[in-house]
Amino acid sequence: MFTMNVIMLHGGAGSTGVEQKLMEYAVKSKSGSALDSVCNAVVLMENDPCFNAGTGSCMRLDGSIQMDAAVMTSKGFGSVMAIENVKNPVLVARAVMERSPHLIMAGDGAEKFAHLLGFEKYDPSTERAAKRRENDISMILSRKIDSYNKMMETVDISKFVDTVGAVARVNGEFAAAVSTGGAPPMLRGRVGDSPVPGAGIFCGENGAVVATGVGEEIIKNMLCISIYNEIGRESLSKIVMKNISRFRYHAGVIAVSNEEYFAYSNTDMSYAALEF
């Protein structure tokens, strides 16, 4: 069993070359609690337009930006789905967990909840996101994409940057947090794996796991709870790699247990791990 505190960050499936930035964010985000540490880390990534979360989120095909986020500890869970007009969805998800009687809030209700609590109205759109939307529409029209499988086979994985996330073990407590602008091309109202407990995020007394990749496939496989339920049966690395091997499309994970921490993806995935 390792006794050091640890925080891990990832920049999403398809991310490359941002390991140094993630390590800097890990250093800045470490805190006295696991929950504060992961939330601090995800806020930094939401504020950075090079990541697909918060500012920098991808646009839907209709031009809107709808974001998903979640936080989880061994004692609580909160998430927001398809929320608009906020800067840091992960903080709204934390507010759902700590300041509401609910676990999940969605759409305009989540947005109203956020503004009621004092979160300022914020437009996360960028020129980069608008350009990506134009490219998505052109691709769909030119290739006559009429099915999910055809869409996934057409997506250029090298340009795919998905969910950001963090897991931490601090003073024996675990926490996880995720945030995403989605996986384009997307219809309005689409929700991926990130805000779904057990799919894109799970945390309990034995560890914390967050995922990145094609949300529909991650939900089908309930990736994070599948990994979590095997913690202690064999090495964390074997558990993670075995579960990822089932995926046809891109998927990645960062995970921490009482004894180990590990990151793995079947495509590019920048990540950083810091013991402190």
Name which of 44-53, 161-170, 238-247 the model is least confident about: 161-170
Percent of the chain with pLDDT over 90: 79
Tell me which of 55, 163, 180, 267 is the catalytic residue.
Answer: 163
Q: Mean pLDDT, to the nearest integer, of 103-117?
A: 98
163 as an active site residue: the answer is: yes
Distance of alpha carbon 97 from alpha carbon 101, whole angstroms: 8
In a domain, 80, yes or no: yes
pTM summary value: 0.92
* Structure letter (DSSP) for residue 66: -
d(CA 174, CA 172): 7
Question: Listing from the earlier edge strand, what are the strands of the sheet with 251-257?
Answer: 201-204, 207-213, 251-257, 261-265
Residue 253 maps to a domain: yes
Q: Total structural domains in the chain?
A: 1
Q: Is residue 20 part of a domain?
A: yes
What CATH number is given to the structural domain containing 99? Answer: 3.60.20.30
Phi-psi region of 273 (alpha: psi -120 to 50; beta: other; left: phi over 0): beta
Q: What percent of the chain has pLDDT over 70?
A: 91
Taking the CA atoms of the chain, what radius of gyration do you get in angstroms? 17
Residue 76 within any structural domain of the chain = yes
Q: Is 248 annotated as a binding residue?
A: no
71 is known to lie in a ligand binding site: no
pLDDT band, residue 186 (cuts 50/70/90): confident
Distances (CA, A) of 8 to 22, 34, 169, 228: 9, 11, 9, 16
Q: Is residue 27 included in any domain, yes or no? A: yes
Look at residue 158 and tell me whether its pLDDT is greater than 50.
Answer: no
Q: Token pair 């250029």 is at which residue? A: 156
> Cα(100)–Cα(187) distance, rounded to whole angstroms?
29
Q: Given a cut of 50, is residue 43 above it in pLDDT? A: yes
Range of the domain at 61: 6-275
Higher pLDDT, 155 or 244: 244
pLDDT at 152 over 60: no
1 located within any domain: no
189 is in an annotated binding site: no
